[in-house]
Amino acid sequence: MWSILLNSNTQWVLLSTAILGIAAGTIGSLAYWKRQSLMSDALAHAALPGVIIAFLLFKVKHLFVLITGAAISAVIGAFFIQGIRSSTRIKEDTAMGMILSIFYGFGIMLLTIANRTSGNQSGLNNFILGQSASMVQSDVWTMSILAILVVSIVVIGFKEWKIYLFDRQFASGLGLPLKGMDVVYTILLVTTIVVGIQAVGVILIAALLIIPAVSARYWTHSFQAMVIISALFGGASGTIGTLISAIGNGWPTGPFIVVLAASFFIISLIFGKEKGILVQYWQMKRHKKQEIIQSIPTSVLKKEVQ
């Protein structure tokens, strides 16, 4: 294990997945309060055809080329969801489910074709469940720079994002460009998804966006604190999950990262100081005790004291 940690490539990969987890936790908090957690899942699946098409067109497996294709495909998926929702009677969650299934099915079909034409040596299967071990240093740099850019945009405009999420009418009154912020939010979400699909995979990147944010909600009512806690949970899940997958030979990274994130969720669910099961149990027990005391006549209480 120590030899793995001393490997410089492993250290770079650990750093990139930690930054990815922080970015996913940060954007996941925005998606949570925007009530679009399912959108991240839909766009993640919608990104797969773009990866395969970019590979088939350019015949290279350079991460920047592949994630550019993924981003274009995910944005097209987002436009389809918006178009279906605005021009038909179909609800948004139904539209997301449709796009998720159609784009993912199309992506798997293209993946089969790509594997046959390249003798199954394309390595594109790693984009399904993620495989950090297949990343090279240029991939790490690309992931890290884009993830840091995403986090920086949220941090710089944190006050505006908070108003945008919690009071759109007030934000409009302040002159904030709501449509522009909708576009920026979608771009940030898509960017986080596409930079993480090689490490976590298109199936499970949505979990890294959703689970840390939900876990953080059990610890605080403050939006700022929630974003910070969610980022910490995401970063820890990315780092530890990647380390465990690196120990094994050919172990996919995505499932281990998600299992670590799920572990943080279980801990939060039980011990969270705001909505945790134990806290609610003690509050309920204390409330019942107070009700019992209040139901006892004052004269009886005085006699017991005497």
Q: Per CATH, is 2-275 categorized as 1.10.540.10?
A: no
What's the DSSP call for residue 271? H
Which amino acid is located at 55 in the chain?
F
Q: What is the pTM of this model?
A: 0.88
Q: What is the pLDDT of residue 296?
A: 64
Residue 197, C-beta contacts closer than 8 angstroms, at least 6 positions apart: 44, 47, 48, 51, 67, 70, 127, 130, 205
Dihedral sign (CA 251, 254, 256, 257):
positive
Angle between helices 37-46 and 63-87 (to 10 degrees): 120
Q: Give the number of other Cβ atoms within 10 Å of residue 58's Cβ.
A: 13
Tell me the pLDDT tens digit for each residue of 162-204.
999 999 999 999 999 999 999 999 999 999 999 988 888 888 8
DSSP-derived 3-state class of residue 248? coil
Domain boundaries, the chain: 2-275
Tens-place pLDDT, residues 79-121: 999 999 889 888 888 999 999 999 999 999 999 888 887 765 5
In this structure, the number of other CB atoms found within 10 A of the CB of residue 50 comes to 26
Gap between the Cα atoms of 21 and 29, Å rounded? 12
- The 10 Å Cβ neighbour count of residue 237 is 32
pLDDT value at 133 more than 90: no
Among 184, 178, 194, smallest CA distance to 156 is for: 184
State the distance between the two ends of the chain, measured CA to CA, in whole angstroms: 68
Does the pLDDT value for residue 304 go beyond 70? Answer: no
